[in-house]
């Protein structure tokens, strides 16, 4: 049994999304000791900036002969798709940046869907595969908060993973992750600690 793990945080130390993904990975390995974990860290090692444009070339100009960079990008898309398709389960750790999906995670998904197997309308080789989608948000975005409705990342990620890919998504949200380091959020620290405990559970 193989677990695929993707991290998108640009923070190596103090990243809540990584911390919760670590807990998911530990729980998986407790059930599947010694089994492989395939890791991709797009926060630390982003995909090339032009990978999506090059990988999308076959869709933009079907029947045209691909250039060497376009073939390389298509091969990269196939490798990324293989990592996800070949796994038995996945965890994606997604911080909310500027009210949306991180650039690194968006690029990974954009390149993924250029692979014909994962394109919208394909046969969904990921259908039913379990995914723990860890979403870490620095502030509060729930009902009644000043930023209610400002989280534009989580709905899009759910649309991609659940509807386009057909995965069995378990959302693991964690809010107020900046409360411990932002003096203006000091009064929210007890609630932040509670939310983190809930996410870890």
DSSP the chain: --EEEEE--S-SSS-HHHHHHHHHHHHHHHHSTT--EEEEETTTSPPPTTHHHHHTHHHHSTTSPPPHHHHHHHHHHHHHHHHHHT-SEEEEEEEEETTEE-HHHHHHHHHHTTSTTTSTTS--TTTT-EEEEEEE-SS--STTSTTTT---SHHHHHIIIIIIS--EEEEEEE--TTTTT-GGGGGGHHHHHHHHHHHH-
> What is the model's pLDDT at position 58?
76
> What is the model's pLDDT at position 62?
67
Cα separation, 139 vs 48, whole angstroms: 30
Mean per-residue pLDDT over the chain, rounded: 94
Nearest to 136 by CA among 183, 192, 80: 192
> What is the model's pLDDT at position 63?
65
Q: pLDDT tier at 141 (50, 70, 90 boundaries)?
A: very high
Q: pLDDT tier at 12 (50, 70, 90 boundaries)?
A: confident
Cα separation, 75 vs 58, whole angstroms: 12
- The structure tokens listed for 100 are 């949306």
Q: Taking the model in full, what pTM does it have?
A: 0.92
pLDDT tens, residue by residue, 19-46 = 999 999 999 999 999 999 999 999 999 9
Residues 74-93, mean pLDDT to the nearest whole number: 98
> May I ask the CATH class of domain 3-200?
alpha beta
CA 55 to chain centre: 20
């Amino acid at each position: 049994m193989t677990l695929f793990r993707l991290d998108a945080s640009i923070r190596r130390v103090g990243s809540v999304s990584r911390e919760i993904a670590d807990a998911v990975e530990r729980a998986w390995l407790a059930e599947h000791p010694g089994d492989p974990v395939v890791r991709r860290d797009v926060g630390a090692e982003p995909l090339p900036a032009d990978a999506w444009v090059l990988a999308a070339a076959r869709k933009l100009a079907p029947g045209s002969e691909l250039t060497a960079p376009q073939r390389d990008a298509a091969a990269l898309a196939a490798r990324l798709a293989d990592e996800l398709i070949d796994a038995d389960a996945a965890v994606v750790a997604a911080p909310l940046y500027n009210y949306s999906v991180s650039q690194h995670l968006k690029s990974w998904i954009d390149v993924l869907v250029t692979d014909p197997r994962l394109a919208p309308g394909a046969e969904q080789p990921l259908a039913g595969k379990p995914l723990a989608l860890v979403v870490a948000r620095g502030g509060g975005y729930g009902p009644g908060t000043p930023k209610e409705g400002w989280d534009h990342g989580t709905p899009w990620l759910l649309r991609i993973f659940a509807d386009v890919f057909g995965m069995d998504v378990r959302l693991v949200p964690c809010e107020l992750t900046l409360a411990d380091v932002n003096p203006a959020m000091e009064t929210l620290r007890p609630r932040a600690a509670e939310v983190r405990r809930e996410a870890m559970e």
